[in-house]
Structure 1
């Protein structure tokens, strides 16, 4: 993507309060087909209509899509339903704090688009596959997809060849979708962390996105997206676990069970030095609420109470963050960074403040879902099988490519300059697959008589 001129769109796109012209620039300037829309409305529409977003319907969130505990149960959440719920939470929280709601919604919708089949288990397996070409990380893959893989906008490179620039979103939208603004091994506090947001060969567009941004600092909209993600999946994974019968709310009162929950949470969702008593107090605060789903039995009344509880939890977590952030930053002119004194909390003019007590409550819900849903014996057996599918599929594609590659990835494979780049193309294809299509392609190579 080098050599492309970086200029502002020459359109009559409306100005957006709180955002300067640099925020609404696109890598490839282009006119709006529908004058009058804001740049962030265009971003949201592009993400919403993308094939990558639709594919999330077939990708695991916690429980494999298509599985049910009872015939009448609603199917468990997928990456798509999670992304839609995250977007709803983020849009409202962002708007309450002065962010452009379309911008935050676009970031929430796109934040998981790079995640591979089989959820975080697939991500870990694909990271093993990609260890010799820069590793794999779902967030870095999301950036790659948004700026390179998802077909929407093509430009000519320095050699006159047509190359994809992905959805060609604005700088602010790509920045808002960047949860980890650093490369592999670049975590500012923990260089050994597996979390990163950009691959080495995507650094040119990443550096363009981050022009003028403080090093390693997430923009305010990305912080809103990140907290909305935590809120959505902690609450809804807990809801799914209860609804499926995996979580018994009465067990959360038993000390041995609670000790297991603290063990899951500490180091994974809260700092290593967290006192378990803090987590006990967090869970007690939730259990003591009148709306807590005590004695959930799956009846219609119980289901309605559970739905009310999820709404109460989301409101509780969001209002706590909104109140603490307002108290710390307010809406004072001159505190909105690139907003030019608009009084809005945007870009690099503020930090989202989430009280420690609220983070602990959210962490406890995450740990409950891990303990009672993801750590079930049958889930571990399924995850082991999924890792085998990813590893064997990658091996087959590497050995047989370009056979087995879809046309889009076959073309990229043919143009790749070396083995490392060709391996990355194989990883890109696997990451794009749904759970079902990964298994189908694996069966094609390993069980050719299966149709």
Structure 2
């Protein structure tokens, strides 16, 4: 019974040769019997959703800190949006949707509290101890830090999911990972090859999602306005298009409709550009995909338009004085937590305090915190409250 059902799950449709196939996965670091009712990538996705690190994402910031408002994006809602965009595009390209979803849901598991501000501060603290990279930390979470199974540390995910999670990696860290796992997920950073198409897709879906929702959150916060956004050709074209059809529309409905149309245009552009690239490259296997240039990409015009949007957000939102002020406080929290735990490891949970590498242990402990837990811990250890 189970064997027939498993065959039905893995052979439901004929995959294009360039798509990852769970039946041909490069496997897990620790051998496990196949699940009777799920493919390998579906199993990865389910493990990620049930992990402790995934639940913490609901209280980790995107741009605005957790206490600044209930409706701003968090790492969790961002990851869900990336997964939705990724699945939609994957379906059109014939890629494995479950693998895309697994990568999307796990790609931010290693992010620190307070977003990029916390990451930068923690990297500064760890500069003499191997540094801190949030993509590498995400891999560390699924490979080592999750404690859910009796036979191994981590979630024991497939190679393909782990490869997609490790979006960026410095050469020094890639060399270290390669020494631990020859031919593993870090090899491509040493050989300058590409990941799977599913991983390439998640990288782009991540960019599409955060550009769109940062517009929404930026306007909601009052830090950027619809008038300012008229400088951004990619957004303003769809605002004008919307007003031609609905001349009386204004406020949030106008904003949402323009964002919706912009998102759709970007998705269709990626689908068209990827199909054209695949037709030219004509890869006959996933391994051939890895040896080519990135094949899931924007067309030239959309790439330039997306870059202009990113520049606008950087100048007007991420470098807004209010965001910069909050960023400085967040970095102060992370630096002072790091110093306090290094001086007195007993202030951490016992299992972290007992680990052999004290600096990496402190880094792991802080990286796993939510915004509010980090703020509470800082107040407990220093007696100062930096956030209202």
TM-score (structure 1 length as normaliser): 0.73
Aligned match for 2:373, one of 433, 437, 442: 437
Structure 2 residue 45 is matched with structure 1 residue 44 = yes
Which residue in 2 is equivalent to 1:194? none
C-alpha distance in structure 2 between counterparts of 1:409 and 1:199, whole Å: 26
Gaps spanning 5+ residues in structure 2: where? none
Matches within 5 A, 1:351-366: 351-366=295-310
Conserved? CA contact 1:144–1:202, under 8 Å: no
* Aligned-pair CA distance for 1:177: 1.8
TM-score (structure 2 length as normaliser): 0.85
CA deviation string 1:280-330 (max 9, x = no partner): xxx335423355677xxxx99532232222221111111111101111213
C-alpha distance in structure 2 between counterparts of 1:317 and 1:407, whole Å: 48
C-alpha distance in structure 2 between counterparts of 1:329 and 1:201, whole Å: 31
CA deviation string 1:184-214 (max 9, x = no partner): 45xxxxxxxxxxx758368524743357998
Conserved? CA contact 1:336–1:348, under 8 Å: no
Which residue in 1 is equivalent to 2:158? 170
Conserved? CA contact 1:235–1:365, under 8 Å: no
Secondary structure of 1:209's aligned partner = coil
* Aligned-pair CA distance for 1:24: 4.7
C-alpha distance in structure 2 between counterparts of 1:179 and 1:427, whole Å: 20
Structure 2 residue 146 is matched with structure 1 residue 150 = yes
Aligned match for 1:424, one of 355, 360, 379: 360
Conserved? CA contact 1:134–1:200, under 8 Å: no
Structure 2 residue 271 is matched with structure 1 residue 304 = no
* Aligned-pair CA distance for 1:63: 0.8
Which residue in 2 is equivalent to 1:112? 108
Conserved? CA contact 1:116–1:433, under 8 Å: yes
Distance 1:94 1:380, change over 3 A: same
CA deviation string 1:44-102 (max 9, x = no partner): 1111111111111111101111313xxxxx62111111111011101111221121001
Gaps spanning 5+ residues in structure 1: where? 1-10, 69-73, 156-162, 186-196, 259-282, 340-344
Which residue in 2 is equivalent to 1:183? 170
Tell me the matched-pair count: 367
* Aligned-pair CA distance for 1:151: 1.9
Distance 1:389 1:292, change over 3 A: farther
Structure 2 residue 297 is matched with structure 1 residue 337 = no
Where is the helix percentage greater, Structure 1 or Structure 2?
2
Secondary structure of 2:147's aligned partner = coil
Aligned match for 1:25, one of 20, 24, 27: 27
